[in-house]
Chain A
Amino acid sequence: MRRVFTPRNVLMAVYLIFLAAPLLWMLSMSFKPNAEILETRALFPQTPTLENYAEIFTQPAWRESFVNSLIYVAMNVVITLIVAIPAAYAFSRYTFRGDRHLFFWLLTNRMAPGAVFLLPFFQLYSNIGLFDTHLAVALAHTLFSVPLAIWILEGFMSGIPMEIDETAYVDGYSFPRFFYRIFMPLIGPGIGVAAFFSFLFSWVELLFARTLTSTAAKPIVVQLSRSLGAEGWDWGVIAAAGVLMIVPGALLIYFVRDYLAKGFALGRV
């Protein structure tokens, strides 16, 4: 007979309530008119409305900014993987001067304090003619995504025995052919997990995305802070946008669930 009220189950239940409460509140808000949000505190909408969602789906500004965000996040994931895969291979297969410290240096790039680094970023990307392009945001976000992707990929690669590399060479494979045909499929799960974490930080980042764009590449996170009406925040629409923004990420977690569940230990950097 299994007990239901084990300490573990109680802890998980309490945590789930804590986790879910603000999310449910946001979901409920997204179906309420603004007046109701500001006047009552009913858990369920008393006059449920789809107006908030309707506004998002009918206004081109919302749709365009949603697409803009998806574009630069996708670009960021691709760039991150292209530069991180060879780097992770180097860390996992070779010992070289400064390898351990180099990794730490990579990670320190995350720390750039937003408020002050924004102006230099703006100047830099304006000077190279990339201001207000998707590429600018994608490149700026590599600051957060590349170090983490290298660490994740290195962990997966170190789990693949080096004998595989050597056997392939003995069999007459060239390095690029070995890498593409044999090695890449083996680290598929790692690529999935690294892509997920790159997506995660790029999707919700606000400061750089706001600084490096104006109209052509305006991201949804910026569109959100602009829905400031005459009488203050448009709470319902913001909640609806928040709900919609969860969707792509939740799908991505669904796709990489097996890799996360199978587990990874991360590299021994």
Chain B
Amino acid sequence: MKRVDQRAWLFLIPALVVLSLNAFIPLMTVVNYSVQDILPGLGAVWVGFDNFENVLRDPSFRGALTRQLGFSALILLIQVPLGILVALGMPKKGWPATAALVTIGLPLLIPWNVVGIIWRVFTRSDIGIVPFLFDRFGYVYNIANSPADAYWTVVMMDVWHWTPLIALLAYSGLNAIPDAFYQAARIDGATRWRTFWVVTLPRLRNVLTIGILLRFMDSFRIYIEISLLTGGGPGRTTAFVSDLLVNRAVGGFEFGYAAALSLIYFFIIIVISYLFFLVLTNVGTSSQMQGGDA
């Protein structure tokens, strides 16, 4: 049994010191920006909540947020099931397991700007292999003109880039499930499908919780890859929240607006992530099959 002891906080001091330096101080600076109108070279004026109001009334913010939420939902719906399927299919022992682990991990090791560049070359109408293959099937693929092509290419790039993270986490989670659980299910005559739902999935809850939270949070930060692949276009099809932020903060020098937008963005992700966190850490905890601490 775990002991109740408030002195446990002492063990957390080093982590809290390091994170506070990085988390609190910059956050407070951003809060400070958000209530001012900042004119580079001319100083700043206190404007209260004007910036927040401007963001919330801004149609480009609503557009970017809607596209972002759709994108985040879509990549989670693809990456999580696909990652689990890949993990189930990976070999468990010997050199095939080593080869599979190293291969699956490769996309994660490539810098994000290189990811964007590779996909750009891969899909450019004049030199890319993807348009060439689509052409064979009689479909004219053009990432620069067709919003649908651009959107799905960005989704596929993200699936390519990040499904390995879910797969690696799920693979480790799967291998931690004792064989006894599967034997018990077999003795009970459970089908494979039922075994998956009742034995496997609940035992993957923890790794999937962190996987889903990481992917959800990081999906809001996607910027470099897309800016190199499509530049947010055509139109604003693939311009998500980070694109708007960069445009306003770096391009337009609207620091007050960008800071207010960041805080609203922060708030939205925290609320949604917290809901995920509550649901994922509570679901199935009362079920009998849970058995012991995961």
Which residue of chain A has its CB nearest to the CB of B13?
Answer: A86
B171 touches A238 (CB 8 A): no
A116 touches B101 (CB 8 A): no
A167-192 at interface with B (beta carbon < 8 Å): none
B19 touches A263 (CB 8 A): no
Q: Which of B53-61, B143-151, B193-201, B220-228 forms contacts with chain A? A: B220-228
Counting CB contacts under 8 A, is A11 at the interface?
yes
Counting CB contacts under 8 A, is B185 at the interface?
no
Counting CB contacts under 8 A, is A45 at the interface?
no
Counting CB contacts under 8 A, is A131 at the interface?
no
- Residue interface mask B151-191, A partner, CB < 8 A = 1: 00000000010001000110111111100000000000000
CA distance A22 to B9 in the complex (A): 47
B281 touches A8 (CB 8 A): no
Contacts of A194 in B (CB 8 A): none
Q: Say whether, besides A12-B86, A109-B23, A151-B210, A84 and B294 are in contact (CB < 8 Å).
A: no
A241 touches B246 (CB 8 A): no
The number of chain A residues touching the other chain, given as a range, is 35 or more
Q: Say whether, besides A41-B132, A94-B2, A83 and B18 are in contact (CB < 8 Å).
A: yes
CA distance A121 to B24 in the complex (A): 11
B94-142 at interface with A (beta carbon < 8 Å): 97-98, 101-114, 117-119, 121-122, 127-129, 132
B176 touches A93 (CB 8 A): no
Contacts of B213 in A (CB 8 A): 107
A1-39 at interface with B (beta carbon < 8 Å): 8-9, 11-12, 15-16, 18-23, 25-26, 29, 37-39
Contacts of B92 in A (CB 8 A): 261
- Residue interface mask A88-124, B partner, CB < 8 A = 1: 0110111111011010101111111111110111011
Q: Say whether, besides A206-B112, A246-B110, A89 and B18 are in contact (CB < 8 Å).
A: no
Q: Say whether, besides A87-B14, A263-B176, A96 and B106 are in contact (CB < 8 Å).
A: no
A233 touches B117 (CB 8 A): yes
The number of chain B residues touching the other chain, given as a range, is 35 or more
Q: Say whether, besides A39-B127, A104-B274, A113-B265, A265 and B101 are in contact (CB < 8 Å).
A: no
Counting CB contacts under 8 A, is B15 at the interface?
yes
A124 touches B105 (CB 8 A): no
Contacts of B174 in A (CB 8 A): 263
- Interface of A, secondary structure class, is helix
For residue B130, give the distance in angstroms from its CB to the closest CB of chain A: 9
CA distance A238 to B119 in the complex (A): 13
Counting CB contacts under 8 A, is B75 at the interface?
no
Counting CB contacts under 8 A, is B214 at the interface?
yes
B257-293 at interface with A (beta carbon < 8 Å): 258-259, 261-262, 265-266, 269-270, 273-274, 277, 281, 293
A221-241 at interface with B (beta carbon < 8 Å): 221, 224-225, 233, 235, 238-239, 241
Counting CB contacts under 8 A, is B26 at the interface?
yes
A116 touches B8 (CB 8 A): no
A22 touches B242 (CB 8 A): no
Contacts of B171 in A (CB 8 A): 260-261, 263
A245 touches B259 (CB 8 A): no
Which residue of chain A has its CB nearest to the CB of B245?
Answer: A115
Counting CB contacts under 8 A, is A139 at the interface?
yes
A117 touches B15 (CB 8 A): no
B1-48 at interface with A (beta carbon < 8 Å): 1-12, 14-15, 17-19, 21-23, 25-27, 29-30, 33
CA distance A78 to B241 in the complex (A): 33
A140 touches B22 (CB 8 A): yes
CA distance A200 to B168 in the complex (A): 13
Counting CB contacts under 8 A, is A253 at the interface?
yes
A117 touches B111 (CB 8 A): no
Contacts of B114 in A (CB 8 A): 26, 224, 238-239, 241-242, 245
Which residue of chain A has its CB nearest to the CB of B88?
Answer: A8
A113 touches B210 (CB 8 A): no
Q: Which of A47-55, A56-64, A141-149 forms contacts with chain B? A: A141-149
Given A121-B26, A200-B108, A257-B102, 4 more A-B residue pairs with CB atoms under 8 Å apart are A15-B86, A93-B3, A143-B23, A147-B19
